[in-house]
Amino acid sequence: MAKKYIETERIRLSSGRQIPVLGLGTCAPLQSEEEIIEAVKSALRSGYRHIDCAAIYRNERAVGHALKEAFVMGIVKREDLFITSKLWNTCHKPELVLPSLKKTLDDLGLEYLDLYLMHWPMAYKEGGEMNPLDENGKAISSDVDYIDTWQAMEDCRDMGKTRDIGLSSFNSQQIQRLLDSARIPPVAIQLEVNCYNTNKKLVEFAKSKGLVVVAFSPLGTPSKGAEFQLLQEPVIQEIADSHKKTPAQVAIRYLIQQGLATVPKSVTARRIAENTEVFDFKLTDEEISKLETLNRNYKVYSEKIAVNHKYYPFNADF
């Protein structure tokens, strides 16, 4: 019988805390509040203890609703959970950081987060749309330096509003620049990593600086009408068949064997459970090499609306 996902599957953060390697993604723009509530409850019942949220997903109240029900029903206790959320780009001004975090906490119905990430190094114009666009459809920048935003995030950690702080989609130069001035170093970074985008140089760089890497879009975001469909690749299917596993389980297992945490998203109870059954088999070195032939440095989240931003992260080599 497949080994149930259990809480020992964790990675130690530089702060000494631990992050469960498997979490539930909640970026679900097409799903209703009811679907999100059911998905989070289903995940908690399946043994997930790590939920990945963000203000920009516009569904933190639904996640909070599910958490509250799970607490009342005794499915899980707050202290057993690892809840991540992310500061959105329109709230990088230092005076907006704490209010943004408080809004997220209020929506989630929590006293504190486990991890608060800066969602992107890029600040957008404050005070209006979450994706403010100019007449050419490009994001309108704000001039805030992510170093100043980080200092406000450090203050949030000092206040106990979040146990740890981290980054998302920063390139190596931006990580280094931030580390050079940080009073509190980031413990983790979310990066797009999957078999289409193994992102090796950046992953190794981040790890060498003491950051745990959390892989987002582990399945290649099939729902986004993506150009390529990772889960339908014959190479993945073949390896899955030989282990009596599914392509999604192989895609997730690949990341775990790279020493990464990951946050596959699903609102389908069967898949939510399926995605946990990844701790009872091991890919061989040969299988890993075969999977890596799929790499084409393909990004689902290239944030093209912000290509002209001063801090656009994808112009650097890595």
Which positions lie near ligand NHF, rule CB under 6 A?
Answer: 27, 54, 56, 301, 303
Q: Which of ligand NHF, ligand NDP, none does residue 25 bind (CB under 5 to 8 Å by kind)?
A: ligand NDP
Q: Could you tell me how many residues of this chain bind ligand NDP (CB under 6 A)?
A: 29
Cβ distance to ligand NHF smaller for residue 282 or 304:
304
Interface of this chain with ligand NDP, residues 204 to 243, rule: CB under 6 A: 216-223, 231
Q: Of 90, 100, 190, 197, which lies in the binding site for ligand NDP, with binding defined by CB under 6 A?
A: 190
301 binds ligand NDP (CB under 6 A): yes
The amino acid sitting at 52 is: D
281 or 301: whose CB is closer to ligand NDP?
Answer: 301
Position 263 contacts ligand NDP (CB under 6 A): yes
CA 179 to mean position of chain CA atoms: 20
274 makes contact with ligand NDP (CB under 6 A) = yes
In angstroms, the CA 22 to CA 42 distance is 14
Is the Cβ–Cβ distance between 24 and 53 less than 8 Å?
no
Q: How far apart are CA 15 and CA 118, in angstroms?
A: 17
Q: Does 46 bind ligand NDP (CB under 6 A)?
A: no
Buried b or exposed e, range 227-266, using 16+ CB within 10 angstroms: eeebbebebbeebbeebebbbbbbbbbbbbbbebbbbbbb
Coil, strand, or helix at residue 63?
A: helix
Which CB atom, from 46 or from 266, has the smaller least distance to ligand NDP? 266
Give 84 or 249: the residue with its C-beta nearer to ligand NHF: 84
The angle at the Cα of 207, spanning 182 to 279, to the nearest 5 degrees, equals: 130
Q: Which of 5, 57, 124, 312 is catalytic?
A: 57
Q: Are 202 and 217 in contact (CB under 8 A)?
A: no
Respond yes or no: is residue 57 known to be catalytic.
yes
State how far Cα 227 lies from the chain centre: 21
Q: Could you say whether residue 271 binds ligand NDP (CB under 6 A)?
A: yes
Residue 172 CB, nearest approach to ligand NHF (Å):
18
Tracing tokens 């404050």 back to the chain, one arrives at: 126
**Cβ proximity of 198 and 232 under 8 Å:** no
Residues that bind ligand NDP (CB under 6 A): 25-27, 52, 119, 168-169, 190, 216-223, 231, 246, 248, 263-268, 271, 274-275, 301
Residues designated as active site: 57
Which residues define the annotated binding site? 119
